[in-house]
Chains A and B, each alone.
Chain A
């Protein structure tokens, strides 16, 4: 059980030309499953490697519990890491691969055998022990690499996009399995992925990263329900949140072409009379599409551009004064060229200021 703390951790490469991580502050609680989520190149893998000790921070400190581990080597940190390509030693059998970290740490042979048996049972790979990695399928390699990480009973698990090389079906299976394992073992885990579905389904909390910084750390539900910036709002959700530019004035948002939408932001205070440019954010799944005129308070009018039926739901792309707005509805009778009204509830609307920050 380990609490991990990153304080102002910055990592430069190439003598400062590339800033991979910029002043990251992050706390990972004991036994927590934290997901680092972000697009490729956002610095999430670098952050993980900094925690592992494979990179040394240019600035800032890393603590495991109360101990400063910034200068500790990877082996002194007692972390286990699962790599994207599994990094199984090709010349060793599955057994030797799993045994290797124990052998290095001089665990007596009897105990090694015991722990290998325990771990391989847990991951259902008992019958693969004498095979070489080249003879294994992707899923089996994945399990072997997990076994090698688990067998050591490390203080921290670090997983770097461990499911990205698996096919869709196996990925779903392993997702459940990984979550089960982490619950059972109760080891602090940092999991790096660019797949928001993985992040939402597995993480106790998610740290959303972009351009080397952490944009928001929150539980999955909160991240979805209260994205703090337009960037996060557009990153989480599929399809992403619609953002429509407008001006906020007197408790309403005036969109282009005279449409205005009332937003009762309860905390609106003195600044009420001032007008300010804002973005109105509504998730596609929060829109209802009406062909006839509607007497709802909050409606946006536009013309249907395309309709994409995807089976379990349909995506309607609506042109609202030049902005393409997506609505995700169970079924719809509208067609291309129809004039439609998109309605939504007050609590489904988000307002972001000019800088992209969520307005209270």
Chain B
């Protein structure tokens, strides 16, 4: 159909107003919620990010001042440390580093566990145990990590003592250059439950006769994984990866519980969510900055969310 024809068809088309009204009525509740809680705050932040703020009072238009101040704030990006790769590097690089480590690790681990559990007796119990981490509130995870890494009572240090590495015993969450990795490990534990569950259901959806057929065709375990299992669970991988990325972008409670509002000693594992919270709700209130940081987060999350939403 040519453009002209399409236009004609649409212009001439009889609009069924009654139907349109009905559709509108049904859409209204959802759209209202979506508007009030999603689009509204986003638009408000976009506008607000160009204004000066006195606590929660909007002041004069300041153009890009909030943006330039935020992007040069060492708490958001510490360029010198970033180039030297020493912590603190600022919330944005730290958040992205977290993502780079967390997503592949939790994805691969989830897949490995799902494959491992697939043919085991008692797989339901094992799956439940692993998934338990994902169902636990993230604040609790943060507190648990505090205990795990505690120098006296912590399991991790106890383990080091048991294997004779007493020299390594320390308060891991207070070590500026290591602390973030310790927290990432905790996050991976949480997210692995989720990716394992998705992979498990994807694996369960593979017809066993396909794998038997591949065995008869001569494929060993590795070829069966590469040629049959992996291509068939690939769509799930996209979901796991993107959900993982969004999860890390929104991360807050683990960091807050483990390191307080500053995000560890000298902000060494501060993340974007924490900076939004600090800018908006601690003295001095920097509402404009909070909006800018939240918008930066949104800029990363939006395309990911759009990709997931458009998937078949």
Contacts and interface: CB of A to CB of B under 8 A. Distances in A.
Interface of A: 52-54, 73-75, 79-81, 83-85, 87, 89-91, 100-101, 104-105, 148, 152
Most A C-beta atoms less than 10 A away, residue of B207, B217, B227: B217
B231 A91 contact: yes
A52 B232 contact: no
Contact of A52 (B214, B216, B227, B228): B216
B161 interface: no
A81 B223 contact: no
B305 interface: no
B212 A54 contact: yes
A58 B141 CA distance: 48
Given A85-B209, A87-B209, A87-B210, A54 B223 contact: no
A53 B220 CA distance: 14
Given A83-B209, A104-B223, A89 B228 contact: yes
Q: Which 3 A-B pairs have the closest CB atoms?
A: A75-B218, A101-B217, A87-B213
Interface of B: 207, 209-210, 212-220, 223, 227-228, 231-232
A104 B231 contact: no
Nearest to B206: A90
A53 to B, nearest CB: 8
B215 A87 contact: no
Contacts of B219: 75, 100, 104
Q: Is the interface of B mostly helix, strand, loop or mixed?
A: helix
A129 to B, nearest CB: 18
A54 B207 contact: no
B279 to A, nearest CB: 48
Given A75-B218, A80-B216, A81-B216, 15 more contacts: A53-B215, A53-B216, A54-B212, A74-B212, A74-B216, A75-B215, A75-B216, A75-B217, A79-B216, A87-B212, A89-B210, A89-B213, A91-B232, A100-B214, A152-B217
A73 B212 CA distance: 11
B215 A74 contact: yes
Most A C-beta atoms less than 10 A away, residue of B209, B213, B218, B227: B213
Given A87-B213, A100-B227, A105 B218 contact: yes
Nearest to B213: A87
A90 B223 contact: no
Contacts of A101: 217-218
A83 B212 contact: yes
A81 B220 CA distance: 17
A259 B217 CA distance: 62
A148 to B, nearest CB: 8
Contact of A85 (B207, B215, B218): B207
A91 B218 CA distance: 18
Contacts of A152: 217
A54 B216 contact: yes
A90 B218 CA distance: 18
Given A85-B209, A100-B227, A104-B223, A90 B216 contact: no
